[in-house]
A and B are shown apart, each in its own frame.
Chain A
């Protein structure tokens, strides 16, 4: 008996019909929409690696403040990480000293793409008061391409946060 059932099932085949594959154009369009939606919903997190390229340590004080309970940058999906290999953003302070050009370039190169370089502070913009010194290459853009500049000497934590949140929105958009 069981053998007869099996033979019948094999000979008749399944009752569900075969359908044609979806048009590649439709698949592509849907994939793009899904991608955009997930980027907008999930792309609200950036890992930041700070790099001091020759700063006076003034900017660093205000970057530290971003982590205190008043600014609490983690609530925006922003956090400092310990390695450039974990970073989306390289937050670079200081006029780039000639003694640090190579280390800065190596650090930026170690971060995976896509990545953003943010120059923080007047020195990072163009060398600031140290512009023209024999020991200074210039602003951050003298060593690596820069995507965003946050000026100030030093910029307040609120100013840095505004710049980073703009980057977050751009990333999510």
Chain B
């Protein structure tokens, strides 16, 4: 802590509720990256680059900024491997080059937009005709080498988001997999710019449709922090009900899908049934199966419908009743154990190095959960356990999901039993300022930052937890057989749209 304090001493703090943003000189910018935990995210605006640090062990959250000079800023990727993808994204959107960075290849920009550098103060020139993407060299994969390459995607052979995976294989074994994403880039940050938080909430709700509630909460909390207001207690409680219902619904769907990828279709049928029943109860309670656009800056737009709580309780009770029997399959079915145990192991230390949260991080030994951060009502009034395992394999990721299901179902029952009375929302004042908000999606911690200028968004960024999961997936599938990739990929369930922005 003292080393960090020394670095921050003399730096100019910019108000960024509820934490601070420090503008550092280039040397301090790099020194902080070395001293603090790995950054959660890097992003930029037209004049500065920003890095978010959130270290739960030291209860430290801050944003560091560094001025961009002559289009350059000191790279953090030589110090922190997770910075690599963010630096590529910053170069594509704003045109700021990471000086000394480890990877200068484009990421989101595939040479298809009308103009390059869409977020820069002045958009760049039209792109050159697109060229085939460049992949990292893999020894043996060159022409005449021992390895063969398997290109997969961007259009996949299932109901899945689009992305390209390049496998370099020795027979059946994967020597290296590299993901190339950016296909679903929709220009979300550009669309948010100039809009009121209330109008921009529709984009936050569609960053990743499977985590629509949690992203909406993180965005709303960032906007509320920037305006200096707090959503009323009833809104906070209903948000938590919806966030936990979302987690339950996704885990039900995902566990079924993961074990189905290990050829256990009975599980898919039963989990699919419970997911459907939870979604129907959700529609009865909140008017929408996925609860899209229900959470807005200032609160929530609808109250829980009469009979909604009972519908949710009943669906959850039915799921909870069958869960022990379904969980036993993981221990009792030898073919499942054979496919899940030891498959897709996240190497030790990697979850920490990339600040990976959610089921992926927690199954690989990283004890992190945004719901334990201060100022995240109503979780400060709820008791819940955060399951952590150390194996880092597909089996552990499934077990963490089972444990989280149990915790979330209990939390929903507790929340529904004592919903506070009072208003559902308060009006957002027309304010100027910066705010940061976090929410725990089913994937892990999602962070939203925004800067308001007289009530309109001047700049914003979203860090979906999957930024950390994609590099971990690349590492975890090293040495697996190609046929196990879908199983590993499903157990990660990293977002494409959420990181493509």
Contact = CB atoms under 8 A, between A and B. Distances in A.
B375 to A, nearest CB: 28
Interface string A49-74: 01111111111111111011111000
A59 B123 CA distance: 32
Contact of A54 (B184, B202, B210, B212): B184
A103 B253 contact: no
Contacts of B182: 99
B184 A68 contact: no
A64 B209 CA distance: 13
A107 B162 CA distance: 12
Contact of A60 (B161, B186, B292, B498): B161
B191 A133 contact: yes
Nearest to B273: A69
Given A69-B269, A98-B112, A98-B113, A59 B209 contact: yes
A129 interface: yes
A134 B115 contact: yes
A100 interface: yes
B273 A103 contact: no
Contacts of A68: 269, 272-273, 275-276
Given A65-B279, A97-B183, A103-B154, A134 B113 contact: yes
Given A51-B155, A135-B113, A99 B185 contact: yes
B110 interface: yes
- Most A Cβ at <10 Å: residue of B112, B159, B190, B209: B159
A153 interface: yes
- Most A Cβ at <10 Å: residue of B182, B209, B272, B496: B209
Interface string A122-147: 00000001101111100000000000
Contacts of B257: 64
Nearest to A131: B191
A161 to B, nearest CB: 13
Contact of B187 (A83, A107, A134): A134
B113 A156 contact: no
B203 interface: yes
A61 B292 CA distance: 13
B216 interface: no
Contacts, number: 135
A15 B273 CA distance: 70
Interface string B309-333: 0000000000000000000000000
B197 to A, nearest CB: 15
Given A52-B160, A80-B159, A107-B155, A62 B186 contact: no
B361 interface: no
A156 to B, nearest CB: 6
Contact of B154 (A58, A63, A100, A129): A100
B460 interface: no
A100 B184 CA distance: 7
Contact of B292 (A82, A95, A104, A153): A153
Interface string B154-176: 11011111100000000000000
B450 interface: no
Taking residues whose C-beta sits less than 8 angstroms from the other chain, chain A's interface range is: 35 or more
Interface of B: 110, 112-115, 118, 154-155, 157-162, 182-188, 190-191, 202-203, 206-210, 212, 253, 257, 269, 272-273, 275-276, 279, 289-290, 292, 495-498
Contacts of A153: 292
B184 A101 contact: no
B268 to A, nearest CB: 8
B276 A60 contact: no
A130 B184 CA distance: 11
A108 to B, nearest CB: 10
Contacts of A54: 162, 183-184, 186, 497
A133 B115 CA distance: 12
A101 B112 contact: yes
A57 B158 contact: no
A154 B290 contact: yes
A51 to B, nearest CB: 6
B332 to A, nearest CB: 22
Nearest to A104: B155
B292 A58 contact: yes
Contacts of B157: 82-83
Given A56-B206, A59-B209, A68-B272, A134 B159 contact: no
Given A64-B253, A135-B186, A136-B187, A58 B276 contact: no
Contact of B118 (A94, A129, A135): A135
A29 to B, nearest CB: 43
B186 A97 contact: yes
Contacts of B497: 54-57
Contacts of A107: 155
Contact of B273 (A52, A67, A70, A154): A70
B200 to A, nearest CB: 10
Contacts of B158: 50, 80, 82
Nearest to A51: B155
26 contacts: A50-B159, A56-B212, A57-B495, A58-B290, A61-B210, A67-B272, A68-B273, A83-B157, A97-B183, A97-B184, A98-B113, A99-B112, A99-B183, A99-B184, A100-B183, A103-B154, A103-B183, A104-B155, A129-B203, A130-B188, A130-B191, A133-B186, A133-B188, A134-B190, A135-B185, A136-B186
Given A56-B209, A57-B495, A129-B203, A134 B118 contact: yes
B489 to A, nearest CB: 14
